[in-house]
Amino acid sequence: MENDYQSEKIKQISYDLGSSAPNSVAGGSRLTLLRKKLQNREADHLKKEATKIPHITTESNKIQARRLILEKFESVN
């Protein structure tokens, strides 16, 4: 039997999945994997959009930008 969750349920699952990760980068990765699984199952656009949790994405992007700057700085020295 296939689960056909509504967008609201997917949003809650996404929030729980992303928030339970050890950091926002890991949370963002979990959400990306969930989006890919939904895409592979040909889920509609609203269900895939429900996996986007803005504060997790924003924090993840900040952390990754800092890491990139540090990597560039360390490679110069």
What pTM was computed for the model? 0.80
Q: What pLDDT band is residue 2 in, cutting at 50, 70 and 90?
A: low
Rounded to whole angstroms, the Cα distance separating 49 from 7 reads 8
Rounded to whole angstroms, the Cα distance separating 43 from 22 reads 28
Is position 55 within any domain? Answer: yes
Provide mean pLDDT across the span 14-42. 96
| Residue showing tokens 């509609």 | 44
Domain that holds residue 33: 7-76
What does the mean pLDDT of the chain come to? Answer: 92
Q: What pLDDT band is residue 3 in, cutting at 50, 70 and 90?
A: low
Is position 24 within any domain? Answer: yes
When divided into structural domains, the chain yields a total of: 1
> 58, 19 in Cβ contact below 8 A?
no
